[in-house]
Amino acid sequence: MQGAGGIVSEFNLYNLGKVDYLTGFKDQKRFIDLRQADTQDEIWCLEHHPVYTLGLSGKTEHILSDAGIPVVQSDRGGQVTYHGPGQLVVYPLLDLKRLKMTVKHYVHQLEQAIIDTLNHYNIAAHRISGAPGVYVDDKKVAALGIRIRRGYCYHGIAINIDMDLTPFNDINPCGFKDLKVTQLKDLGVDVKISDVVPVLANSMVNALGYESYLTQNNAQLADLKTMS
């Protein structure tokens, strides 16, 4: 849907709960394969079961020990990271051509949406040059890794809300040795993922140039995934 002056007016927002990483990965690729020029943009919000994912630049030596957590190869950019319950994972499935965004600008605006979301909770967050993601002081609170195909983006961001951070000790997060991580709970913000989703959605509206978003139900997502 287009707004006045060709501005994309809204995206569909889905809250999917806990999703296996490989299932979510395959569903994203299927959506990208099937979407057309007039397909509405979507943003999927979810949690993953414990998993380490290796991006296209990922090196197994950045997994420091066997914690008994599955390791999955992904086609996103970046190195190794950890996903687990209590972390908000967000997959924007957007048409960057329609948004008139370069990849560099898109990444910058994704980070801005996270910074604005944290600012809502009075957390002062920032970028670090050469290290994608969002930080509070010297600790990483949100990771970022994307893939672009045919001008369509998938994968996205992960914000640590209230989770067990221990598995990060067994990797070099994003390929950086001794990188510290943090989460909203440790920063004095006691919220549920369901509380953060609408705040982030509004931040995405502003950062990416939409006018609004529509919260959809999972049955509608299932219908879309069976498009042919």
pLDDT in tens, 83-124: 999 999 999 999 999 999 999 999 999 999 999 999 999 999
Cα separation, 18 vs 200, in Å, equals 18
Q: How confident is the model at residue 6 (pLDDT cuts 50, 70, 90)?
A: very low
Segment 141-163, tens digit of pLDDT: 999 999 999 999 999 999 999 99
What does CATH list as the number for 4-215?
3.30.930.10
- pLDDT value of residue 176: 60
**Enclosing H/E stretch for 194:** helix 193-208
Cα–Cα distance between 171 and 178 in angstroms, integer? 9
Between CA 21 and CA 143, with CA 8 as vertex, the angle to 5 degrees is 30
Residue 46 structure tokens: 């979810």
Structure tokens at 13: 């927002």
Active site residues: 174
> What does the block give as tokens for 52?
């380490």
pLDDT in tens, 16-69: 999 999 999 999 999 999 999 999 999 999 999 999 888 766 566 657 677 788
Sign of CA pseudo-dihedral 107, 110, 111, 112:
positive
The structural domains of the chain, with segments of one domain joined by +, span: 4-215
